[in-house]
Amino acid sequence: MSAPQGQGPLAGVRVIELGGIGPGPFGGMLLADLGAEVIRIDRPVEAGRPNAMPVLHRNRRSITVDLKSPEGIELVRTLTDTADVVYEGFRPGVAERLGLGPDDLLARNPRLVYGRMTGWGQDGPLASEPGHDINYIALSGALHAIGTPETPVVPLNLIGDFGGGGMLLAFGILAAVISARTTGRGQVVDAAMTDGSATLLAMMYGFLASGTWTDERACNMLDGGAPYYGVYRTADGQHMAVGPVEPQFYANMLRVLGLTDDPDFAGQNDRTKWPVMKHKLTDLFATRTREEWAKEFEGQQACVTPVLSLLEAPQHPHNVARGTYRAGAHGGFEPAPSPRFSGTPAPEVAPAPVVGIHTDEVLTADHITDLRNQGIVK
């Protein structure tokens, strides 16, 4: 089954994805979800296998090409001749050694946008070093800012891999596509997870510069330091998220909790009172279950909500009403494409294909049978 074409705001944009893991495929998913034609290239040895990352690789077409053979490299070069975008997630220098670097491909297709997804970037002292999300956000400052006073807490791999990586890659690619269509000139997009996670800290660095943020964990308004912006355990071992930053919502929370006349809560931003406020809220939320508190706060405009699990979130009435999640092709749920577009809605989601299933459909070389016999494609 081919990915749907001719729909979505990115219909007509052709993207070649040189197979990688994590943030690169996530960036490709964002583009494909909105209608771009994304063709992923994997190794022939993987042909016929079910996709190992079925959500990240949805809406693709999948081919397999041996990038260690001159014939395979020429096939990929030919594909990029008619593409708007090619992107890769190799370590710096690998694409050049393959003969698929930006100089090689831009010489053939000057309008091509060449995306590069790495942790450390294409240059700098660490460019050739290995790493993962946790390492990249450690050096950008993001990891230090999240957690308890005693230790940083790993925020999944959302900040480096996906927010500061794949999403930044997709944003950069689209900016370069707009530029190429205006100027006729393509360019290289160097998306580094360290850079991207630093960009996500823009507001915190602004607060630091103005003296309204302390470079310590769990002592600021948005890092769990404030009693009115945090998570509290309920009687059944679940949790409620409390976030009434604005005074009117804070007042609503106090009203629901019966704390309006408690002098300890009179000064919302009186930091000397924060420890006792947090202690009282901890004791109070522990007196009822999560569902009891959720019912108490429903419709109260207090910015207090239940903390839902990954399995519970798709069932919440708001998420159901908006279609935030959809039934997954392989069972369970998966996030629906976002954001929403009024005039060019995203196409229906096509499941991740079996690896290599579109090889004959995409590659039209006259000698495809010979290439298959040689194991260059499969």
Angle between helices 23-33 and 167-183 (to 10 degrees): 60
Tell me how far apart the alpha carbons of residues 307 and 356 are, in angstroms, rounded to a whole number.
40
Q: Which CATH superfamily is domain 14-201+325-373 in?
A: Crotonobetainyl-coa:carnitine coa-transferase; domain 1 (3.40.50.10540)
Distance from C-alpha of 87 to C-alpha of 21, rounded to nearest angstrom: 12
pLDDT, residue 280, reads 98
In the chain, residues under CATH classification 3.40.50.10540 are 14-201+325-373
- Active-site residue list: 132, 161
Pick among 3.40.50.720, 2.40.50.140, 3.30.1540.10, 3.30.413.10: CATH of 239-306: 3.30.1540.10
> Tens-of-pLDDT digits for all 378 residues of the chain?
444 444 899 999 999 999 888 899 999 999 999 999 999 999 999 999 999 899 999 999 999 999 999 999 999 999 999 999 999 999 999 999 999 999 999 999 999 999 999 999 999 999 999 999 999 999 999 999 999 999 999 999 999 999 999 999 999 999 999 999 999 999 999 999 999 999 999 999 999 999 999 999 999 999 999 999 999 999 999 999 999 999 999 999 999 999 999 999 999 999 999 999 999 999 999 999 999 999 999 999 999 999 999 999 999 999 999 999 999 887 899 999 999 999 999 999 999 999 999 998 898 766 688 888 889 999
Angle CA(365)–CA(369)–CA(370) in degrees, nearest 5?
95
Identify whether the C-beta of residue 242 lies closer than 8 Å to the C-beta of residue 303.
Answer: yes
Distance CA 159, CA 13 (A): 27
Of residues 156, 152, 160, the one with CA closest to residue 133: 160
Q: Which helix (H) or strand (E) holds 64?
A: strand 60-64
Q: Is 187 left (phi over 0), alpha (psi -120 to 50) or beta?
A: beta
- List Cβ neighbours of 69 (8 Å cut-off, separation of 6 or more): 374, 376
Confidence at residue 330, expressed as pLDDT on a 0 to 100 scale: 77
279 CB contacts (<8 Å, ≥6 apart)?
none
DSSP 8-state code for residue 90: P
User: Token pair for residue 112?
Assistant: 């091509």
**pLDDT of 336:** 97
| Portions of the chain given CATH number 3.30.1540.10 | 239-306
Confirm whether pTM is higher than 0.85.
yes
Nearest in space to 166 (alpha carbons), one of 199, 117, 202, 120: 117
| The predicted structure's pLDDT at residue 365 | 65
DSSP assignments along 334-378, one per residue: EEPP-S--SSSPPPPPPPPPPTTTTHHHH---TTHHHHHHTTSB-
Helix axes 290-297, 247-257, angle to 10 degrees: 120
On the 0-12 / 13-18 / 19+ scale of CB atoms within 10 A, 6 is: exposed
Instruction: Output the six-digit token pair for 65.
Output: 């090409």
